[in-house]
Amino acid sequence: MRIKSIIFLQHLNLTFSLSCSYFRTLDEKVLQDLESLLNSKSGLQVFRWFLRSEFSEENLEFWLACEEYRLSPSHVQKAKASSIYSQFICPDAPQEVNLDAETREALLSVMDRPSVDTFTPAQQTIYSLMAKDSFPRFLRSPHRIEATKA
């Protein structure tokens, strides 16, 4: 098992190095705040690679799923809401995010009739976690430094 993990990490590092060389044009303006980073295709990709290297991309994936949900037509929102709940919210979800019990219970209570704003409070909580934790770590990481080299 340890050998598989080492091989995976080597593959991840090689893949990241290749992606960084592709995104070397990452502008420092994109790094001013998390919102700018998430609104930049190349910034988002480099941030995703960073989180993947730390095995902590669930918050970003949840945030992106909520964005997609919010912008989706109402006739598909119930199915998307159910998918988001089972992927990120329910206990032992494959990519369970760190939400308090009150937020989880509130989400569960509206899963049968979701609205466009169903995930907004949870999404804001996860955004705050990324802004206070993941984003500052990213700014100090070799991933960011490599991605902004000219």
Please choose, from the candidates 89, 98, 86, the residue with its C-alpha nearest in 3D space to the C-alpha of residue 127: 98
CB-based contact 88:57 (threshold 8 Å): no
> Could you give the C-alpha distances from 64 to 36, 94, 132, 146, 150, in angstroms and in order?
14, 16, 18, 24, 29
Question: Residue 26 has what pLDDT?
Answer: 62
All CATH 1.10.167.10 domain ranges in the chain, comma separated: 58-131
User: Does the domain made of 58-131 have the CATH classification 3.40.50.360?
Assistant: no
- Please report, in tens digits, the pLDDT of each residue of the chain (150 residues total): 555 544 444 444 544 444 444 444 566 777 788 999 999 898 899 999 999 999 999 999 999 999 999 999 999 999 999 999 999 999 999 999 999 999 999 999 999 999 999 999 999 999 999 999 999 999 999 888 777 764
CB-based contact 66:84 (threshold 8 Å): yes
The three-class DSSP label of residue 131 is helix
Instruction: Count how many residues are written for the chain.
Output: 150
Question: Residue 13 has what pLDDT?
Answer: 52
Q: How far apart are CA 65 and CA 87, in angstroms?
A: 10
Q: How far apart are CA 118 and CA 77, in angstroms?
A: 10
Stated pTM of the model: 0.80
